[in-house]
Amino acid sequence: EKFPAERKPRYVPPLEDFDKVLARAEGQDRVMLLACLHLAARRGELFWLIWQDVDFINSQVCLSTRKTRNGSVKRVWLPMSTELRKELLWWWENRPYKKAKHVFVHTHESHSPTHRPGEPFVDRKRFMGSLCKRAGVEPFGFHAIRHLSASYLYRIGKPVSLIQKILRHEAPSTTERYLKSLGFDTEELKGAIEEFSRKEPAEVIPLKEKNPRSSCSEGSKDIQRGYPVRVTKTQT
């Protein structure tokens, strides 16, 4: 009888490897990689992104995805980081095709039938592989950068509910399955975090004012300001 093989966790590149790849990228390629990481964006969401959905005034971006149950387009506004806003603004000012409505477009001539200058990308099969090779890191693609965004947020302690919103999942259970596929045991980590709730509260030692009419001592002034006061016990 054959037992089902255990699924290996999806590959998540180290942040250092992403930085090495980013250092090799130039122009709109660099902006695209940053957008992928900072927005946890899918490849298609980047290819479909139009300038009308980039709000520099309110520092937000609207991503459109067709990954919904009924096949309709779902649009979600996400905040832009300071770094991403700076890079997108640079690309807006320096883009070679001013009339192009899409943010990321073909920028040079090519023999590929799907490569038309000024037109949005349909696919970039060799793009990530080439960058990874030049950077000397294990190959990874656009979706692995999305994995990196999710795993980084989880490692620094962001709740699943927040990661769900950033990943634009319909349900929190989808996000939990997603994190488990990256090698995280969400239930185990939740149990470890709950241990903080089981700790006994620290003893609070009230301070008595010796003379209510006298001026405040330094310690009581601190209490009025809301500052903590260190209490030391006299040695016996």
- What's the CATH code of the domain at 25? 1.10.443.10
What is residue 227's predicted lDDT score, i.e. its pLDDT?
35
Task: Give the residue among 76, 30, 68 at the shortest CA–CA distance from 49.
Answer: 76
State the pTM of this model: 0.72
Name which residue leads in pLDDT, 232 or 55.
Answer: 55
Task: Give the residue among 219, 170, 147, 174 at the shortest CA–CA distance from 69.
Answer: 170
Taking each helix axis from N to C end, the angle separating 27-38 and 142-155, rounded to the nearest 10 degrees, works out to 40
Residue 109 lies in a domain: yes
What is residue 185's predicted lDDT score, i.e. its pLDDT?
75
pLDDT level of residue 67 (50, 70, 90 thresholds): low
Residue 59, Ramachandran bin (φ over 0: left; ψ between -120 and 50: alpha; else beta): left
Q: Encode pLDDT of 149-206 as tens digits.
A: 999 999 999 999 999 999 999 888 888 889 988 888 766 555 545 555 555 555 555 5
Query: Looking at the predicted structure, is the pLDDT value of residue 210 above 90?
Result: no
Coil, helix or strand at residue 120 = strand
Residue 5 lies in a domain: no
The residues, ordered by sequence, that sit 6+ positions from 119 with a Cβ below 8 Å of its Cβ are 100, 102, 105, 106
Residue 30 lies in a domain: yes
Alpha-carbon span 112 to 91, nearest angstrom: 24
What is residue 43's predicted lDDT score, i.e. its pLDDT?
94
Instruction: List the domain range (segments joined by +) for residue 133.
Output: 15-142
pLDDT level of residue 224 (50, 70, 90 thresholds): very low
pLDDT level of residue 100 (50, 70, 90 thresholds): very high
Residue 83 lies in a domain: yes
Residue 57 lies in a domain: yes
Alpha-carbon span 183 to 151, nearest angstrom: 9
Query: Looking at the predicted structure, is the pLDDT value of residue 57 above 70?
Result: yes
Q: Encode pLDDT of 29-42 as tens digits.
A: 999 999 999 999 99
What is residue 116's predicted lDDT score, i.e. its pLDDT?
79
Coil, helix or strand at residue 79 = strand
Q: Encode pLDDT of 126-151 as tens digits.
A: 999 999 999 999 999 999 999 999 99
pLDDT level of residue 56 (50, 70, 90 thresholds): very high
Query: Looking at the predicted structure, is the pLDDT value of residue 6 above 90?
Result: no
Number of domains within the chain: 1
Residue 231 lies in a domain: no
The one-character DSSP state at 210 is S
Residue 228 lies in a domain: no
Name which residue leads in pLDDT, 87 or 230.
Answer: 87
Residue 38 lies in a domain: yes
